[in-house]
Amino acid sequence: MRVAATHPLTDSVRIGRPEAVFDRLDAIGVIKHLAPHESLVLEGDSANRFHRVLSGTIAGYKATSDGRRQIIAFFFPGDLVGLTVGEQYAYGAEALDRTSVCSVPRTRMRELSSHSPTLHEDLLAALDREIGAAQERLLWLGRKTARERIACFLLECAHRCGTPEEDGSQTVPLPMSQLEIGDYLGLASETVSRALAQLARDGAIEVLRPFSGVVIRDRRRLEAAMDEGPEPLGTGL
């Protein structure tokens, strides 16, 4: 089914993602609807299909044997979930809210891309961006403080899903819970709550109540918080 130029799909164009070509895929896949926390694929399943998000949000995650969880990526409308060359999914994926995806057989994709150089190029570009995103986040998780991670995260979300800026403020909807943000950033949910509160106290953001996103009030200050390092440990004295 060709989904018309409603909101979500045009995002990939609006943001300037290279893979607008993927819109074609919507025609050859089947639509699936997912309830909140319903799982789409499991880590280790044989990777027969991949999915393009039409609306809602998907989280890709890995877990340790004792239940600790690390969210690898959030997928928003237009994103491809489960791209892989390997035989198995490298991570599980589940919906965060009511979500619909377009499910495409891998064989079909292979076929298509071998006939279309542009599709092939865009596929490479999508993989490349997935690498870049993961590697960027290695820096966050390995070397940044909780406050810095939150600041980076908010600006990333603003870039991907934020509303246009108005008089210096930008609204950033966050469809995931603070626990999930924690699982994305390698933090406890309490730490996420505290860091958000601190950034709000500093005037960088405003947290929407009930929690559903933030408004960036002072982008300059938020950007400064991305990279400020550990506590200056007393400015004077």
Partner DNA sequence: CGACTGCTTGAGTCTGCTCAATAAAGGTGG
Partner DNA sequence: CCACCTTTATTGAGCAGACTCAAGCAGTCG
Q: How far apart are CA 133 and CA 123, in angstroms?
A: 15
Decide: is 15 part of the binding site for a second copy (CB under 8 A): no
Within residues 15-74, the interface with DNA by CB under 7 A covers none
Q: CB of 161: closest distance to DNA in angstroms?
A: 17
Minimum distance of a second copy from residue 148's CB (angstroms): 9
DSSP H/E element including 124: helix 117-143
What single-letter DSSP state applies at residue 173?
E
For a second copy, the closer CB: 31 or 139: 139
Nearest to 15 by CA among 163, 213, 176, 172: 163
Under the binding rule (CB under 8 A), the answer on residue 134 touching a second copy is yes
Helix, strand, coil abundance in the chain, percent, nearest 5 = 40, 25, 35
Asked if 229 interacts with a second copy (CB under 8 A), we say yes
- Closer CB to DNA, 115 or 209, in the complex: 209
**H or E, element range at 126:** helix 117-143
Size of the site for a second copy (CB under 8 A): 36
Sheet (strand 49-55) strand order: 30-34, 99-105, 49-55, 80-81
Q: In the complex, what is the shortest distance from the CB of residue 223 to DNA, in angstroms, rounded to a whole number?
A: 18
List of residues contacting a second copy (CB under 8 A): 62, 64-66, 68-70, 72, 84-86, 90-91, 124-125, 127-128, 130-132, 134-139, 141-144, 183, 185-186, 227-229
